[in-house]
Amino acid sequence: MAAILFFLLLSTICNVEAQQRQTNISLGSTLSPTTTSSWLSPSGLYAFGFYQQANGYAVGVFLAGIPQKTVIWTANRDNPPALKDVTLNFTNDGRLVMQSAQGKETSIASPGGATSASMLNSGNFALFNSDGGIVWQTFDYPTDTILQGQHLSVGKELVSSTGIFRLAMQQDGNLVQYPVGTTNVFQNAYWSSGTDGKGDNVTLCLDDDGLLYLLNSTGTYLSNLTKGGSPKNDAIYLMRLDGDGILRLYSYNLRKNGNWSILWSSTNDMCLPKGLCGLNGYCVINDQQADCKCLPGFAAVKQGNLSSGCERNFAVESCKSKDGSLKYTMEEVTNTIWEEDYFSQLSLSVKEDCKAACLDDCNCEVAMFNDGKCKKHKLPLKYGRRSLDDSNVAFVKGRGAFGTVFKGTIQNSQKFVAVKRLEKLLAEGEREFETEMKVIGRTHHRNLVHLLGYCHEGAKRLLVYEYMSNGSLADILFTPEKKPSWDDRMEIARDIARGILYLHEECEPQIIHCDIKPHNILMDEYGCAKISDFGLAKLLDPDKSKTFTGIRGTKGYVAPEWHRKQPVTIKVDVYSFGIVLFELICGRKCVDWNLPDEKAILEEWVYHCYEAGELGNLVGDQEVDKRQLERMVKVGLWCTLYEPSLRPLIKNVLLMLEGIVVVPIPPSPTSFVTTL
């Protein structure tokens, strides 16, 4: 991470002719970005008005008298930049507002009783009443900076321009730095003045000689943070909470017109600020600068913005759908420390035992081992940093036994692709690779993920697929704020059925997918569902309708015949589809042990509601077509019958889903009736 001063340097400030130097600003005065853009202080050093920000304009106080045009204060800092047709009005009733060309107002100050305003030589912009008293001033509402002569009183905060860090002047007299979004407790702090309990109504002050100090209500000096010196008329001092989370005191020599000089910093440890690298990231020092790294198997959430944190660059099965045959690796990260937020602690003498304990625990995603203690963590991890003096070892649960999926781009192209890297290729891994090649290479359908290419060179096994921008069906179906509408969910069901129909009846030889589940249904940018992951697919000989194989698929979606060691047919995919259909109907997972026992297994609960005539319980308050709901439930019940021969072919399933054929009344799940 490059060195950060985090002064907002104005790329374009209107020239002096577009600024007005006046002591008193009267009611009815206006500013605009393209005409009179700001009001100057009598000295001409400070200005209040518009400055260019990104592709628009913001309103604030800035240093107009130096080349850097440093911003001191910004109004409504979290709002997006305004367009050039905006106007700043000091209204006739004493309000300070921004008004768009469409007439929409955004308030900056509405104190009541204001009759005039002034940009003062101190850098303070103030509104006055008719008696000359200040009724509102920018000094009372600092953003990330305080100037000489300005105070930070108890209960006030500075927030960094990046929105990640804050400086709080606390009731207990302590000046403390925290990450934004955290409570004022010791565990979240990363720097403090150490003045808690030393006085009431403590204030942080910056004098005109650069002295930064803490003063209590009786006028007693509690702590001098800087030395200060003799006041200088040719120097400006300001203190800023910079975007990297470090508090710094700066000075500027007006005669030299050079650069800002750092006089004091709250810390020289660039990795000290908590949250600098976001969730699942950790900070290291490279060339005396902070640099953010991601855990193994993770990538930055936003490329080029490491403070956004890190997320897995591959899909991981959830704990409740854990397949006993699924294996994980444990990646080791040494000399790193994290926030203490473990859910279990074990006393173990060997780090390998700690790693094994995490591997065996479905809930463990990271294990920390140090001094005979093994601490199990869930993600996300917070406040990570490299510490060469610490012997802590972190074990991160990572990739599955064979496939790891990465997001990538094709060289000289902006097109994203999904790259599946096959690992640990013993005989079974080789077989998986060859299967994917044979199967996907000869398939092409709107509802199947398209294979773009592959690499089979030495030990390297890579498959390159089209990239699905909306992730998996599991991502959207089981996330309340993303859950598709009823109509969209029913179209997704038809998409899946069409894809299975292609595999079963339009491929030569016929293909059994063997692992139909929401995680293997990917969604493109248009909301079209596509079946992926043919790693478990089984090819059927043209002369056979059944084949023998070991148990495959994922717990909860696996047809009963897998467990009976009977020959499997295309009906195993029909069964899995039925379970997915139930999930689409109800918008929940097929097994959820957090629910009451009678609802935990979705397949059983659906049948109970159907028998009791209580299908409305499946969809809650959602607005759905009752006849369509009943039809979909009946189709799902047919698909999930215990006896494979009783389940309909997928082509008949699709006809029933589309309402082309009538859906017969389904039998009891264990009944034996005529095959559809």
- Report how far residue 307's alpha carbon sits from residue 276's, in angstroms, rounded to the nearest whole number: 6
pLDDT digits (tens, 9 = 90+) for 97-138: 999 988 899 999 999 899 999 999 999 999 999 999 999 999
The gap from C-alpha 248 to its chain's centroid, in whole angstroms, comes to: 29
What is the gyration radius of the CA atoms in the chain, in angstroms?
33
> Average pLDDT over the chain, rounded to whole?
84
566-581: string of b/e by CB count within 10 Å (b at 16+)? eebbbbbbbbbbbbbb
> What is each CA distance from 119 to 43, 48, 64, 89, in whole angstroms?
10, 6, 12, 15
In this predicted structure, which of 4-8, 13-17, 73-77 has the lowest mean pLDDT? 13-17
Of the listed ranges 80-89, 141-150, 156-165, 558-567, the one predicted with least confidence: 558-567
pLDDT above 50: residue 166: yes
The whole-number pLDDT of residue 125 equals 97
Nearest to 90 by CA among 114, 54, 70: 114
Helix axes 650-657, 571-586, angle to 10 degrees: 30
The 10s digit of each residue's pLDDT in 639-653 is 999 999 999 999 999
**148 vs 209: CA distance, rounded Å:** 8
Residues contacting 66, CB < 8 A, separation 6+: 45, 236, 252, 254, 257
- Among the residue ranges 86-95, 379-388, 430-439, the one predicted with the least confidence is 430-439
Which residues fall within 8 angstroms of residue 35, CB to CB, at 6 or more apart?
A: 18
Q: Greater confidence, 457 or 655? A: 655
The span from the CA of 517 to the CA of 222, in Å, is 64
Mean pLDDT of 618-624: 89
pLDDT at residue 435, as a whole number:
66
What domains appear along the chain, each with residue ranges and CATH number? Answer: 16-138 (2.90.10.10), 145-265 (2.90.10.10), 281-401 (3.50.4.10), 404-466 (3.30.200.20), 473-657 (1.10.510.10)
Please report the pLDDT score of residue 16 as a whole number: 33
Instruction: Measure CA 380 to chain center.
Output: 11
Strand partners, 71: 62
Quick one: tokens of 673?
């009736």
257 within 8 A of 235, measured Cβ to Cβ: no
| Of residues 625, 649, 624, the one with CA closest to residue 638 | 649
Angle between helical axes of 602-611 and 571-586 (0-180°, round to 10): 70
pLDDT for 359: 82
Render pLDDT for 390-402 as a digit per residue (tens, 0 to 9): 677 887 876 544 4
- What positions carry a catalytic annotation? 515
User: Percent of the chain scored above 70 by pLDDT?
Assistant: 84
- Is pLDDT above 70 for 489? yes
